[in-house]
Amino acid sequence: MSEVRFDGKTAIVTGSGNGLGRSHALLLASLGANVVVNDLGCSVDGSGESTSTAQLVVDEIKAAGGNAVANTDSVTDRSQASNIVRTALETFGDLHILVNNAGILRDKSFKNITDEEWDSVIDTHLNGTYNVTKAAWPHMRENNYGRIVVTASGSGMFGNFGQTNYGAAKSGLIGFAKALGHEGAKYNIKTNILCPAAASRMTEGLMPGQMLDKIKPAAVSPIVAFLCSEEIDVTGALFEAGAGKFTHANWARSLGYKTDAEDGVATVDEIKAHWEEIMDMSEPKVLDNPAAAMGEFMS
């Protein structure tokens, strides 16, 4: 039996009818968690809905001896997002874990993207995560316990062609989760960030089949489970996971260039002359909190 267990704990996993979310839900349930399987049953672009998608995962969990309940509310509607949390409380009596996984894709070059394609992606990823987390937060504070996982992406870290909407949402989620990490610390609420690489409905058209075969969703879920455990000792941290590889990622800055001007105002020609120093990342400085980052910069 696994040393990491979730007996007596209740978890919500949004967007858990397929892919990564389903894998997370199955693993948490197999380790003893009561799981709210939330999924609207929509397509990858957010259109349509089906009540059977979440229920099929619940049936799979129960067939394996676990406890789960289906919920088909939309994370983009604040009243429905509150109902996702209410489902956990009314069915299992409490809430300890929230895995924000729900998302859609509407890739389009910036030149061609419509306002609706922008808004729908921001609304699902960024606002949807806010909506469910906002509803869960008071219960976790009251319990002096909570574990939250926010799903970001390499597109939010580095950008990607045709994903200004998706990249903006995912980058926003990184800042959101890092801020929550600070705010929840004294309440024993740990919030961490996952940037996964896995085969799913959202990635099947973006990667060759041979690669997708090697990046199964189940290879990502173990770190999600650990981030949801009592044992996790970090908050506001960002992790990349895929194909059995797990890394901790962070911001870094170059040594940079400091002007000798007494008033601290460099000339544009100085910037040009010292551009290589500013860009040189051969000796990066890694900083993991705003106080240290600002202190080191100002010094």
Name 98's bridge partners: 12, 148
**How far is Cα 158 from Cα 122, in angstroms, rounded to an integer?**
17
**Which residue in 144, 141, 142, 168 sits closest to 157, CA to CA?**
168
Q: How far lies 156's CA from each of 37, 168, 173, in Å? A: 26, 6, 8
Name 150's bridge partners: 100, 193
Q: Let me know: does 120 contact 167? Beta carbons within 8 Å.
A: no
**How far is Cα 15 from Cα 89, in angstroms, rounded to an integer?**
19
Whether 257 is a known active-site residue: answer: no
Q: Let me know: does 191 contact 148? Beta carbons within 8 Å.
A: yes
**How far is Cα 156 from Cα 154, in angstroms, rounded to an integer?**
5
> What is the total residue count of the chain?
299
Catalytic residue among 130, 166, 187, 257: 166
Pairing type for strands 34-38 and 252-253 reads unpaired
**Which residue in 287, 97, 297, 21 sits closest to 178, CA to CA?**
287
Put residue 66 in one of left, alpha, beta given phi > 0 → left and psi -120 to 50 → alpha.
Answer: beta
Structure tokens at 256: 């940079």
**Which residue in 100, 94, 35 sits closest to 70, CA to CA?**
35
Residue in the structure block whose two tokens are 């289906």: 70
Structure tokens at 255: 């040594």
Q: Which residues are catalytic?
A: 166
